[in-house]
């Protein structure tokens, strides 16, 4: 959606919360292989009789070659690397305490608000956009709103890994329509909570993080480092190749409780083959519609799921091999942080932009869903 009328909309601030703990590939593989050895020993008779297949070891070289990931930040390390648990352990909180997603979302939001030079009184709406919510209701966004002392309205939305770009579109529309002067869009992602750490093909994929951006009209912007939203484009195509069947109806079909499909599952090769060309085509068509030559882009901030995917998409868009500066990578340190990944890349790699420089912020994932935002430093 290209801007119409006189309202110019900008991203005026971005924030990032990074957990204190990190798990390296070596630590993750050591834990996984210890579990594999225990599993195979426990089922040795059935495996010997051909009734069960033995589990295979993971290895660091495979992980780095397949994904580009070297480590990931996590909310709880001890539970993840314990071979007898292999999931995070988060202490229960009372209803009177801030929830975990709220806490990390607020931390990122405060950074974004500081960079935008705004206070709670300046914001009219809060949007929490993430791939999973800690609970069904009250909305996480309303809790974040309350913690920050913001008046107005708030709601949650979920478009999996594309939640942030879709959230930016929603915020953009609110500002253009006059329903909000400024919108705070927050992406708290505790992805280790829905990752199957006992699946060799995916146990290394995700990490935890929270990001946030402030979106407002250029007329009211107080930031000295703002980016105008020149155009937004969203697309969804139904696919089962990335799926998570966890939900409130699981208890009504108890046969499925505890099954692997209640966590993240994907057909990785199909995703790579189908999503990469679709993302590249969307960005290419969007730029062509705006009469922007791909070579005039200073940077493409892509969803941080897989280094090989990003290299292919950037190459298709630019028509050549991208430099590290043109398509920066943060997944080596953060892993896949779902909707937050492209915002992390944007946050960490935009300080060198001069007025007039152009970039594209893009995310893609389950749905399938694809979002791309064309930005100009003002």
Residue 295 half-sphere exposure toward CB, CA atoms < 13 A: 2
Q: Looking at residue 1, what is its pLDDT? A: 58
Residue 362 half-sphere exposure toward CB, CA atoms < 13 A: 29
- Tell me the C-alpha distance between 164 and 85, whole Å: 31
Q: Looking at residue 266, what is its pLDDT? A: 94
- Tell me the C-alpha distance between 198 and 38, whole Å: 12
Cβ-contact 120, 85 below 8 angstroms: no
Residues of the chain with pLDDT under 70: 1-5
Cβ-contact 186, 144 below 8 angstroms: yes
- Tell me the C-alpha distance between 266 and 56, whole Å: 19
| pTM beyond cutoff 0.75 | yes
Cβ-contact 276, 313 below 8 angstroms: yes
- Tell me the C-alpha distance between 264 and 61, whole Å: 23
- Beta carbons within 8 Å of 317's beta carbon, 6+ residues apart: 280, 283, 284, 287, 294, 297, 300, 360
> Between the CA of residue 210 and those of 90, 110, 111, what are the distances in Å?
16, 11, 11
- Residues annotated as part of the active site: 161
Strands 125-129 vs 71-74: parallel, antiparallel or unpaired:
unpaired
Helical H segments across 214-297, by residue range: 268-289
Q: Looking at residue 87, what is its pLDDT? A: 97
Cβ-contact 128, 140 below 8 angstroms: yes
CA-nearest of 351, 343, 334 to 371 is 343
- What's the pLDDT tens digit per position in 120-138? 999 999 999 999 999 999 9
- Tell me the C-alpha distance between 57 and 75, whole Å: 25
CA-nearest of 56, 15, 315, 35 to 186 is 15
Residue 271 half-sphere exposure toward CB, CA atoms < 13 A: 20
CA-nearest of 24, 57, 1 to 207 is 24
Q: Token pair 């694809």 is at which residue?
A: 370
- Residues composing the chain: 378
Q: Looking at residue 201, what is its pLDDT? A: 94
Question: Three-state SS for 266?
Answer: strand
Cβ-contact 229, 9 below 8 angstroms: yes
| Structural domains present in the chain | 228-377 (3.40.47.10)
């Amino acid at each position: 959606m290209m801007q119409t009328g006189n309202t110019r909309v900008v991203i005026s601030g971005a924030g990032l919360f990074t957990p204190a703990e990190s798990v390296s590939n070596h630590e993750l593989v050591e834990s996984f292989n210890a579990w594999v050895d225990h599993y195979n020993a426990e089922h040795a008779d059935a495996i010997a009789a051909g009734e069960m297949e033995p589990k295979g070891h993971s290895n660091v070289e495979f992980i780095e070659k397949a994904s580009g990931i070297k480590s990931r930040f996590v909310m709880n390390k001890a539970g993840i690397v314990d071979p007898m648990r292999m999931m995070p352990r988060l202490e229960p909180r009372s209803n009177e305490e801030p929830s975990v997603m709220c806490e990390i979302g607020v931390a990122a939001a405060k950074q974004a608000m500081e960079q935008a030079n705004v206070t709670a009184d300046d914001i009219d709406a809060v949007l929490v956009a993430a791939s999973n919510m800690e609970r069904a209701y009250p909305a996480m966004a309303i809790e974040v709103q309350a913690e920050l002392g913001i008046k107005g309205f708030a709601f949650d939305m979920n478009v999996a890994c594309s939640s942030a770009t879709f959230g930016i579109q929603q915020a953009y529309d609110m500002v253009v329509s006059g329903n909000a002067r400024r919108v705070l869009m927050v992406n708290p992602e505790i992805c280790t909570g829905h990752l199957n750490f006992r699946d060799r093909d995916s146990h290394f994929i995700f990490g935890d993080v929270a990001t946030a951006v402030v979106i407002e009209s250029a007329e009211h912007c107080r930031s000295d480092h703002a980016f105008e939203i020149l155009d937004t484009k969203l697309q969804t195509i139904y696919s089962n190749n990335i799926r998570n069947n966890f939900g409130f109806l699981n208890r009504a079909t108890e046969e499925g409780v505890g099954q692997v499909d209640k966590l993240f599952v994907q057909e990785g090769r199909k995703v790579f083959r189908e999503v990469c060309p679709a993302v590249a085509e969307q960005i290419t068509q969007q730029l062509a519609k705006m009469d922007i030559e791909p070579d005039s882009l200073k940077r493409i901030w892509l969803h941080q799921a897989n280094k090989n995917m990003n290299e292919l998409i950037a190459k298709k868009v630019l028509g050549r091999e991208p430099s590290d500066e043109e398509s920066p990578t943060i997944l080596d340190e953060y892993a896949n942080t779902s909707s937050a990944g492209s915002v992390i890349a944007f946050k960490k790699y935009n300080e060198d932009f001069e007025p007039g420089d152009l970039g594209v912020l893009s995310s893609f994932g389950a749905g399938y869903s694809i979002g791309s935002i064309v930005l100009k430093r003002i």
